[in-house]
Amino acid sequence: MNKVSDGDNFKFRVGKGSRTICRLEAVVSPEAIIKGLSGRAPLQSGHGMLFIFPEISRQSMWMPEMKFPLDIIWLDEDFTIVHITKDCKPCKTRINCPSYSSKYQVQYAIEFKAGDADEYGFEIGKALFPV
CA 76 to chain centre: 12
Q: What is the domain partition of the chain in residue ranges?
A: 9-130
Question: In angstroms, what CA-CA distances link 48 with 6, 21, 91, 95?
Answer: 13, 11, 19, 26
State the pLDDT confidence band at 64, using cuts at 50, 70 and 90: confident
What is the share, in percent, of the chain residues with pLDDT greater than 90?
A: 79
**CATH assignment of 9-130?**
2.60.120.1140
pLDDT tens digit sequence for 9-25: 999 998 888 888 999 99
pTM tops 0.85, yes or no: yes
Please count the residues of the chain: 131
